[in-house]
Chain A
Amino acid sequence: MSWEVVIGLEVHCQINTNTKAFCGCSTAFGAEPNTQTCPVCLGMPGQLPVLNTLAVDKTILTGLAIDAQINLESKFDRKNYFYPDLPKGYQISQFTIPLVEHGHMDITTKSRGDRRIGITRIHMEEDAGKSMHEGLEAVSHIDLNRSGIPLMEIVSEPDMRSADEAIAYLKNLHQLIRFLGVSGADMEKGQFRCDANVSVRHPGDEFGTRTEMKNMNSFRFIKQAIDYEVMRQIEVIEDGGEVVQESRLWDSVKSESRSMRSKEEANDYRYFPEPDLPPLRVSQLEVDNIKAGMPELPHQLRARFEAEFGLSAYDADVLTQTRNLSDWYEALVAAHPADPKRCANWMANELLGRLKELNKNIEDSPVSPDEFGKLMDRMGDNTISGKIAKDVLDAMLESGKSADVIIDEKGLKQVSDTGAIDTMILEIMAANQGQVDAYRGGKDKLFGFFVGQVMKASKGKANPAMVNQRLKELLKA
Chain B
Amino acid sequence: MPFSSLSHIQTRLDNGETTAVEVAQLYLDRIAAHNDALNAFVHIDPAHVMAQAEASDKYRAEHGARALEGLPIAVKDIFCTQNGPTQCCSNILKDFHAPYDAHVITKLKEAGAVLVGKTNMDEFAMGSSNETSAFGPCRNPWNTDYIPGGSSGGSASAVAAALTPAALGTDTGGSIRQPASLTGITGLKPTYGRVSRRGIIAFASSLDQAGPMTRTVKDAAMITSVISGHDSGDATSVADAPELDWLAACDKKDMKGLRIGVPKEYFVEGMDTEVRASVEAALKQCQALGAELVDISLPNTELAVAAYYVIAPSEASANLSRYDSVRFGHRCENPEDLLDMYTRSRDEGFGAEVKRRILTGAFALSSGYYDAYYLKAQQVRTMIQQDFITAFENVDIIATPTSPVTAFKLGEKTDDPLTMYLSDIYTIAVNLAGLPGLSQPCGFADDLPVGLQWIAPAWREDVLLGAASAYESTTDWHTKAPQSFGGEA
Is any CB of A less than 8 Å from a CB of B in the complex? yes
Interface residues of A (CB under 8 A from B): 39, 42-51, 78, 80, 82, 84, 87-90, 140, 142, 144, 268, 270-272, 275-278
Asked if B370 contacts A275 (CB within 8 A), the reply is: no
Contact of A45 among B98, B235, B318 (CB under 8 A): B98
Mind listing 18 A-B residue pairs with CB under 8 Å?
A42-B327, A45-B86, A45-B93, A45-B202, A45-B322, A46-B98, A46-B202, A48-B198, A80-B318, A84-B324, A84-B326, A88-B318, A89-B322, A89-B324, A270-B365, A271-B370, A275-B206, A276-B235
Residues from chain B with Cβ under 8 Å of A142 in the complex? 326
B235–A46 CB distance below 8 A: no
Q: Which residues of chain A come closer than 8 Å to B326, judged between CB atoms?
A: 84, 87, 142
Task: Closest A residue to B197 by CB, please name it.
Answer: A48
Contact check: which of A44, A87, A89, A277 meets B98 at CB < 8 Å?
A: A44
**Option from A45, A140, A277 in Cβ contact (under 8 Å) with B80:** A45
- Docked-complex contact B342 and A82, CB < 8 angstroms: yes
Bound form: Cα–Cα A87–B327 in Å: 8
Contact across chains for B370 and A272 when beta carbons are under 8 A apart: yes
Q: How far is the CA of A453 from the CA of B235 in the complex (A)?
A: 82
Q: Counting CB contacts under 8 A, is B130 at the interface?
A: no
Chain A: which residue is nearest B234 at the CB level?
A: A48
0 or 1 for each of B354-369: is its CB under 8 Å from A? (1 = yes): 0000000010011100
Query: Does B365 contact A272, Cβ atoms closer than 8 Å?
Result: yes
10 closest pairs, A vs B, by CB? A89-B321, A275-B205, A270-B365, A275-B206, A43-B322, A46-B199, A45-B201, A268-B367, A88-B322, A46-B201
Asked if B453 is at the interface of the complex by the 8 Å CB criterion, the answer is: no
A-B contacts counted at CB < 8 A amount to 99
Interface residues of B (CB under 8 A from A): 80, 86, 88, 93, 96, 98-100, 102, 197-202, 204-206, 232-236, 314-315, 317-318, 321-322, 324, 326-328, 338, 342, 362, 365-367, 370, 374
Residues of B within 8 A of A39 (CB): 99-100
Q: Are B233 and A50 touching (Cβ within 8 A)?
A: yes
Q: What's the least CB distance linking A387 to chain B, in Å?
A: 66
Nearest-CB distance from A27 to chain B (Å)?
19
A89-B324, A90-B318, A272-B318 known; A45-B96 Cβ under 8 A: yes
Inter-chain CA distance A84–B337, complex, in Å, is 12
A275 near B315: Cβ-Cβ < 8 Å: yes
Q: Name the contact of A78 in the complex, choosing from B318, B324, B328 (C-beta under 8 A).
A: B318
Asked if B88 and A45 make an inter-chain contact with CB atoms under 8 angstroms apart, the answer reads: yes
List chain A residues, Cβ under 8 A from B204.
Answer: 275
- Given contacts A82-B321, A270-B365, whether A278 and B236 have CB atoms under 8 Å apart is yes
CA distance A350 to B239 in the complex (A): 60
Rounded to whole Å, the gap between the CB of A172 and the closest CB of chain B is 36
Asked whether, in the complex, the Cβ of A272 is within 8 Å of the Cβ of B314, the reply is yes
Q: Is the pair A47, B198 in contact by a Cβ cutoff of 8 Å? A: yes
Contacts of A271 in B (CB 8 A): 365, 370
* Interface pair A46/B321, CB less than 8 Å apart: no
Minimum distance in angstroms from A164 CB to a CB of chain B: 36
| Interface contact B235-A270, CB-CB below 8 Å | no
A46 to B102, CA, bound (A): 8
B234 CB contacts on chain A under 8 angstroms: 48, 50
Flag if A49 contacts B321 (CB, 8 Å).
Answer: no
CB distance from B403 to the nearest CB of A (A): 27
**Shortest distance in angstroms between A136's beta carbon and chain B's nearest beta carbon?**
13
Please name all residues of chain B whose beta carbon is closer than 8 Å to the beta carbon of A90 when the two chains form the complex.
318, 321
Minimum C-beta distance from A262 to chain B (A): 9
B370 touches A50 (CB 8 A): no
Q: Give min CB distance, A408 to chain B, whole Å.
A: 64
Which residues from chain B contact A51 at a C-beta distance below 8 Å? 235
Residues from chain B with Cβ under 8 Å of A84 in the complex = 324, 326, 338
A88 x B338 contact (CB < 8 A): no
Contact A43:B365 (CB < 8 A) given known A48-B198, A80-B321, A272-B318? no
| A-side contacts of B317, CB under 8 Å | 80, 270
In the complex, A341→B240 CA distance in Å? 60
Cα separation A153 to B437 with both chains bound (whole Å): 42
Report whether B198 and A44 are in contact in the complex, using a CB–CB cutoff of 8 Å.
Answer: no
Query: A48 to chain B: which residues have CB within 8 Å?
Result: 197-198, 233-236
B235 close to A277 (CB less than 8 A): yes
Most B Cβ at <10 Å: residue of A42, A84, A272: A272
The closest CB in chain B to the CB of A142 belongs to B326
Q: Does B202 contact A89, Cβ atoms closer than 8 Å?
A: no
Complex CA gap A163/B159 in Å reads 71
Contacts of B342 in A (CB 8 A): 82
What residue of chain A has the Cβ atom nearest to residue B96's Cβ? A45
In the complex, which residues of chain B have a beta carbon less than 8 angstroms from the beta carbon of A144?
A: 327
CA distance A140 to B326 in the complex (A): 11
Could you tell me the distance in whole angstroms from the C-beta of B10 to the nearest C-beta in chain A? 29
Shortest distance from the beta carbon of A132 to any chain B beta carbon, whole Å: 14
Docked CA distance A372–B206 (Å): 63
Contact residues in B for A276 (Cβ distance below 8 Å): 205, 235-236
